[in-house]
Chain A
């Protein structure tokens, strides 16, 4: 079945890099996404990667995909206090584009 797992919590110091990890089970995923949710707000798409790519870089964000191990990571360089939020990994299916979300990783950035 479809399942996406993430660690629940990550704490980093301001200026350090953050790495949020995600594993998924469905090898037929076409796209893998990272969403950010700030308190009381909706889901903001940060970035996504097509399943035939290994890496995607977008400013401070780097996404790494290991398709063999079904492992996805999001690296945030020079983490700022404004990056404190919950980060959701999600896999998208080609047929319907419905998203299967992980449970979210709460990132706390300490000054």
Chain B
């Protein structure tokens, strides 16, 4: 069964450092998403991406965040200068055209120290 894969599963970084979280969406999907879940809190929408551009972003997704689809398979989330409050589980999701179901990856746990 096709699945969304995320790497790494856990990343520890120092405050102020840049991190890149990687996702490989399902191969024929065209819509891509990043969500985050701070420990004990709701899963929050960050950004949606379609046709090589951001289609929607939340207030959380400020200038410190960026997304990219550098090749035909990867979808990345970059945080330029991490803050302690960026510590969270980050989920990537993808969706096919005409499909209402978004498939989520297993998540990357980001810990900023």
Residues of A within 8 A of B48 (CB): 96-98
Against B, the Cβ 8 Å flags (1 = close, 0 = not) of A48-88 are: 10100000000000000000000000000000000000001
**Measured CA separation A3–B93 after assembly (Å):** 21
Please give me the residue from chain B that is nearest to A43 by CB atom.
Answer: B104
Contact with A along B88-102 (1 / 0, CB 8 A): 000101010000111
* A101: chain B residues within 8 A (beta carbon): 35, 42-44
Contact partner of A42 among B41, B100, B101, B106, CB < 8 A?
B106
* A49 CB → nearest B CB, Å: 10
B31 within 8 A of A: yes
A101 to B41, CA, bound (A): 10
B43 contact set on A, CB distance < 8 A:
43, 88, 90, 99, 101, 104
Q: What is the minimal beta-carbon distance from B95 to any residue of chain A, in angstroms?
A: 6
Majority-rule SS of B interface residues:
strand
Known contacts A48-B101, A97-B102, A102 near B42 by CB under 8 Å: yes
Q: How large is the interface on A (under 10, 10 to 19, 20 to 34, 35 or more residues)?
A: 20 to 34
Write the nearest CB–CB distance from A78 to chain B, whole angstroms: 25
Which residues of the other chain, A, contact B44 by a CB distance below 8 angstroms? 101
Interface positions of B (Cβ within 8 A of A): 31, 33, 35, 41-45, 48, 55-56, 91, 93, 95, 100-107
A positions within 8 Å CB-CB of B: 31, 35, 41-45, 48, 50, 88, 90, 92, 96-104
Q: Give 14 A-B pairs besides A42-B106, A96-B48, A97-B48 with Cβ atoms closer than 8 angstroms.
A: A41-B106, A42-B104, A43-B43, A43-B93, A45-B104, A48-B101, A88-B43, A90-B43, A92-B100, A97-B95, A97-B102, A98-B33, A98-B56, A99-B45
